[in-house]
Structure 1
């Protein structure tokens, strides 16, 4: 038995799992089954770390006896019945113990790549198919606990997982569960979420990207006002951007690894390594349409006015993000960016993004019967105009003059937007000039 794993908690190496592990599976299951809960889980997790150390001797993406390993994980981490073995039925307290054990395990100080391999063996899945319900549920619980107790190793692993999932249904389901826990069920615990910007910025970046994508998907925006992002979560995002203007582009500055998944070996590697989904388009959409159609109040301390201030702070963070991207493009020494990601910086706001934001705006104005010259409509257009202005000036969008005019066709008359459109040709020329060695600054009037 020691040739396969040390079930007594020692440090025996794994030797024969790659050749005849299948023949010893019943014996291993019985030995683990006899252990008191949750020692069987701890023993298996320790063995998994040794397993992935040994896998480093194989080609990338090659995992010997993967099906057998998955069976062991299903039996003694997720406690799912399998082929005659009926594991302990977990109570709510038992599930909490498993989650605590996982936090402890990932905080052991072993090498980060090995720990992520174990994490991926537990929770990895193809972005094109839905994760098993029991694994998805446990991942959501683990994420919420990691946020609450500030477990950085787990948060780092989840950040990589989110990055590789590219806002799939799996990642959106997990993020939705965390939002439900902290913003709806126990809003008093929101301070734990706010602290993430200092605890684990990469997790904050990936979480914000998925959360915004959940409410304002750039490929199919949710246009109805009731589906808007929760206001307390929006407040968290505005505070994050206040503290770090480069948060939205954190994965450009410090790219997370695209790694072969244990459960989907070719899935991650088959996608272009520069795939990057940003929170920026959804945040802009939120600034432009988030406050439309809501009741107004003239009270100086009203809740509505506070929400409006959140949109203003969020807008300032967005504009600063675009300026940070311009600094990266200029290649200043304090900002090193791989050459292959420069194109991403130039497309933080695509023509399609801007078009869908405008479509969202038009739809809500129509559905809510808002007057074109009303204060809220003009304020939304002002915010859109400022984002468009800075994006063009910083070269973070590839919209041509024709694109800009076409996108804005049919929008209500707005002084600032008209001024920008009338200068769009000059903006385009200046944007091209900024890509040359001799860059010239662009002076464009801003509305404050």
Structure 2
């Protein structure tokens, strides 16, 4: 191997990189044809050649062309193994060079629509730690949304060429933009592109989940198997995050308000698409005899989202952000209820009760002054559970129906007599205390 290294040192960088890739192709091709396969990995000498002559040198654009051309005549299995050998992180100094070259390579593959590289990048995104996946997603968003905004159309057209890559890219960008700060709010162009992808074909969000064998175990810390939870986080936290991002000055405040109102229709459309995907997922789980046995959304992720919503709500003034808090809670409750009904989220009865109880407590929290002991309960001026148009999918709607006072209804037909009610307490005609009324819980079967 030392002879090969000395021979490579006498070559120019491009010629040396071509020779190393050719040697890598031959080695991995022989390993795939053998009985043992490439499971044992590359020899250390081969890894050293790859790091020295591909990653330690200044990465030339011609090296990317060389890698692209090298993939033309390779089979799918050989391409995947070569890509993994080149860009699997080793925990050494070459990792930064690997990420820099990978970002440029994938960005170039998007520009020239090189599907083999995009398919390899999709596998890389599925098996690599989420921290590195987020770095790749940030680089691609910078290239196609920030540096040259008009180039977003090039990235948008990739969905028809490599939907698997787009599915993994959506998962990565939802992990990147988590609304934890104003800088981590998805750019409007990126949001519009993702919503357009999903509206055109909602099944895009389930590609990785459907094509991943149940017996395969993904590395610890990798991205979620579907982008559903990340997109749900976008829909739920967006109203609160945009409200938080408003500036103090009138001009900036108006600009931020217009930005939030402009994106609100996109988030509503995205929320509807997520509910539709849950229904599609129910069909798939039923056909595969996995309904009630395999959770797509993790309870821990749902609990973390509830905590994030609670924290954001505490940061806002409930009197000035009542509509935003109500919208976030409605979306969260709708999504959780549909996810449970379709088998995407598996919860025990205790967890369901605690979840609904927490939602009610969150809605009821606010600037309420407790009345003196023994005095009637006085309602707060903050309308907690009185949305203008409550959604029929939201459990908060049923809670509102159970907790609100009785209204006058049309008389029933004679064959359905009214059942006499017990005497009500001395509360006012428009007052109610949620702690004194049991929540009507019916488990979803």
State the TM-score, normalizing by the size of structure 2.
0.73
Which residue does the alignment assign to 1:280? Answer: 228
Residue equivalent to 2:165:
203
- Give the Cα separation in 2 of the matches to 1:281 and 1:133: 29
Answer whether contact 2:103 2:136 (CA < 8 A) is retained.
Answer: yes
Find the counterpart in structure 2 of residue 242 from structure 1. 199
1:150 aligns with 2:113: yes
CA shift, 1:58, in A, is 5.0
Deviations 1:350-386 (A, max 9, x none): 3222222221112112112233872222222222222
Q: Does 1:48 align with 2:4?
A: no
User: Does the alignment pair 1:183 with 2:129?
Assistant: no
1:44-443 aligned at under 5 Å gives the runs 44-56=20-32, 57=34, 59-63=36-40, 66-78=43-55, 80=56, 90=58, 95-106=60-71, 108-125=72-89, 132-165=95-128, 167-216=129-178, 223-255=180-212, 277-292=225-240, 293=243, 294-295=245-246, 302-331=258-287, 342=290, 346-371=294-319, 374-408=322-356, 409=358, 410-412=361-363, 413-414=384-385, 416-419=394-397, 425-428=441-444, 430=445
Q: Is the 8 A contact 2:235 2:270 kept in 1?
A: yes
Partners of 1:329 and 1:177 in 2: how far apart? Answer: 35
Give the Cα separation in 1 of the matches to 2:67 and 2:219: 30
Q: Deviations over 1:229-283 (max 9, x none)?
A: 333222221111112212222112222799xxxxxxxxx97859x9953211121
Q: 1:366 to 1:269 in 2, by over 3 A?
A: closer
CA distance in 2, matches of 1:100, 1:362: 50
Quote the offset at 1:131 in angstroms: 6.7
Distance 1:400 1:131 in 2: 47
Is 1:148–1:192's contact at 8 Å kept on the other side of the alignment? yes
SS at match of 1:395: coil
Query: Secondary structure of 2:442's match?
Result: helix
Q: Number of matched residues?
A: 366
Distance 2:440 2:63 in 1: 58
Structure 1 stretches of 5 or more lacking a match?
Answer: 1-24, 81-88, 217-221, 259-267, 332-336, 431-448
Cα shift at 1:63 = 4.7
1:404 touches 1:424 (CA, 8 Å); kept in 2? no
* Distance in 2 (alpha carbons) for counterparts of 1:28 and 1:417: 69
Secondary structure (helix, strand or coil) at the match of 2:202 reads: coil
Q: Which residue of 2 aligns with 1:6?
A: none
Gaps of 5+ in 2: 247-251, 364-383, 403-438
Deviates most, 392-401 or 200-209 = 392-401
C-alpha displacement of 1:130: 8.9
- Measured in 2, the distance between the counterparts of 1:322 and 1:345 equals 16
Q: What residue is the counterpart of 2:370 in the other structure?
A: none
CA distance in 1, matches of 2:84, 2:115: 16
**Structure 1 vs Structure 2 CA RMSD:** 3.2
Task: Identify if the C-alpha distance between structure 1 residues 312 and 65 changes in structure 2 by more than 3 Å, giving closer, same or farther.
Answer: closer
Cα separation, 1, equivalents of 2:201 and 2:218: 32
* Cα deviation 1:379-424 (Å, max 9, x = unaligned): 2222222212211221211123431332241221435442356798
CA distance change for structure 1 residues 378 and 182 in 2, over 3 Å: closer, same or farther? same
Q: Is the 8 A contact 2:172 2:223 kept in 1?
A: no
TM-superposed deviation, 1:302: 4.7
Change (3 A) 1:65 1:284: closer
1:210-238 Cα shifts (integer Å, max 9, x gaps): 2212233xxxxx63454223332222211
SS at 1:365 equivalent: helix
Q: Relative to structure 1, is the Cα distance of residues 307 and 113 closer, same or farther in structure 2, using a 3 angstrom cutoff?
A: same
Q: How many angstroms apart in 2 are the aligned matches of 1:297 and 1:141?
A: 37
Residue of structure 1 equivalent to 2:8: 32
| Contact residue 215 and residue 229 of structure 1 kept, 8 A | yes
Matches of 1:131 and 1:115, distance apart in 2: 21
Distance 2:193 2:296 in 1: 22
Are the structure 2 counterparts of residues 343 and 144 from structure 1 closer, same or farther at C-alpha, using a change threshold of 3 Å?
farther
Q: Relative to structure 1, is the Cα distance of residues 275 and 97 closer, same or farther in structure 2, using a 3 angstrom cutoff?
A: closer
207-216 or 321-330, larger mean C-alpha shift? 207-216
State how far apart, in whole Å, the 1-side matches of 2:354 and 2:44 are: 53
